[in-house]
Structure 1
Amino acid sequence: MRLKKSLMLAAAFMVGISTAQAASLHTQWEKFQAGRAMHHLSADGQKAMVDVLQARDLLSQGKVDAAIPPLYDAQKRLAAAAKDNRNFMAAESQLQPTPQHPAPTTHKPSAGTVTWIPVGGEFIVTDTLAPEKKTAAQAANQQLKAGQTQQAQQNVQVVGEDADFIVALAPLEPAQGALNRATVFTEGRQAAPAVEALDDLLSGIVFVSDDFFAQAVPDKGQAAAKKSQ
């Protein structure tokens, strides 16, 4: 990506634009990078995870009846996310988990080939990041956890490409199975096993780099355009 930026700025210089215009071009490129990262996420998948976390929090407080609506919403949203063109099929052994966010000790690898849904993302904040960019990245991460992609994108424009973006992938079939178990237990007013089922769902999530995800799921809109040419 840095090579592309250098080439763009060099091209700008060759056609005689001003330094200010070149700087503006650089800024627009970083905004594009931020938008590209957000574009990879499944809106329904994100909202499903927000529902799951809400239901788990309620169940852990013993509020069984209040946990039922978000569980139902999560089921509907996972079903909708299954139709999202950002999904892809692969065995877990084909993924390249990022060392920046290792799987928890409770993680149980998904068996066979499953559908992976991009249900969330996170910007990795390093000590070398400028304070204002670190603050913006942390704010964006909180907004992503809440499913507020558009708001997060505004903060990410401050960060540009100075922070690495990683994508959270949930295995659809195992996630739906765990969610269904949690719903049945909740309907039966059994909070403890319902929480355990949701923990199984959450521990099944795998984090990969944005670059890996981009290679695994090429832009289908661009692919269609090339095919029609």
Structure 2
Amino acid sequence: MTIKKSLILAATFMATLSSAHAASLHTDWEKFQAGRAMHHLSADGQKAMVDVLQARDLLSQGKVDAAIPPLYDAQKRLAAAGKDNRNFVAAESQLQPVPQRPAPASHKPSTGTVTWIPVGGEFIVTDTLAPEKKAAAQAANQQLKAGQTQQAQQTLQVVGEDADFIVALAPLEQAEGALNRATVFTEGRQAPQAVEALDDLLNGVVFVSDDFFAQAVPSKGQASAKKSQ
């Protein structure tokens, strides 16, 4: 084999290796992006919202007795979410709601400084997104609503960094108050009033961008450093 031919083969091999490495890096980056987005959510907060939606559905059907267990579970999980290190304290006026998911007309802004809990997330699907990626994002959103975080993360590997992730924040004190009212009404077999209380809870949720949330919540290392000061 001549020196010239050896150099050509070596160059071809390096080019192939570089392409494969680049593809591998891109895949790893997509997995990292999906994992980073999922990591921001509170597991207990997500489950609490799933319980709330389940209870509301049962109450709207007049199944009062069946709605009591998920309401009790929601109370426990919301209390646990209040101790999660993914929470942050701020006035609602400091938040930057995303235009894709504006607050409903019945939204009642929280007053003063409150604790915000990341209770859910959603991937924004645009018309320019490829059909397979759009379908994957929509499937991931359904999984997130069901509290299936790990499954959503796997589904999102198809989407990668081509979809924007937004975080649903619930004001802890306001949510706990609404949930307690709903529980009392349910125990008193007053389904319409219980549904109204749960609607107050759901209408209090505010959606912000993943980037805003990442800036609002300090990392575990930063939080530990502040406590040690």
TM-score, normalization by structure 1: 0.90
Give the drift of 1:224.
4.2
Per the TM alignment, residue 223 of structure 1 is displaced from its structure 2 partner at its CA by: 5.6
Aligned partners of 1:205 and 1:61: how far apart in 2?
24
CA distance in 2, matches of 1:42, 1:91: 20
- Give the counterpart letter for 1:155 in structure 2: T
Gaps of 5+ in 2: 1-15
Q: What is the aligned-residue RMSD (CA, Å)?
A: 1.9
What's the counterpart of residue 120 of structure 1?
120
Alpha-carbon displacement from aligned partner over 1:134-179 (angstroms, at most 9, x marks no partner)? 0110000000000000000001111001000000000000000000
Residue in 1 that maps onto 2:70 = 70
Deviation of residue 221 (structure 1)? Answer: 3.6
Q: Bigger radius of gyration, 1 or 2?
A: 2
Q: Give the count of matched residue pairs.
A: 214
Amino acid at match of 1:67: A
Aligned-residue sequence identity (percent) comes to: 89
Indicate how the Cα distance of structure 1 residues 226 and 169 shifts in structure 2: closer, same or farther if over 3 A, else same: closer
CA pair 109-223 structure 1, distance change in 2 beyond 3 A: closer
Q: CA deviation at 1:17?
A: 5.5
Q: Which residue of 1 aligns with 2:131?
A: 131
1:157 matched to which residue of 2? 157
1:26 equivalenced with 2:26 (yes/no): yes
In 2, distance between residues paired with 1:188 and 1:224? Answer: 45
TM-score, with structure 2 as normaliser? 0.90
**Secondary structure of 1:26's partner?**
helix
Whole-angstrom CA distance in 2 between matches of 1:225 and 1:37: 24
Residue 172 and residue 223 in structure 1: after superposition, are their counterparts in 2 closer, same or farther (change >3 A)? closer
Residue identity in the other structure for 2:92: E
- Deviation track 1:80-124 (CA, whole Å, cap 9, x = no partner) reads 000000000000000000001000000000011100000000000
201-210 or 26-35, which deviates more: 26-35
Q: What is the rounded CA distance, in whole Å, between the counterparts of 1:49 and 1:109 in structure 2? A: 19
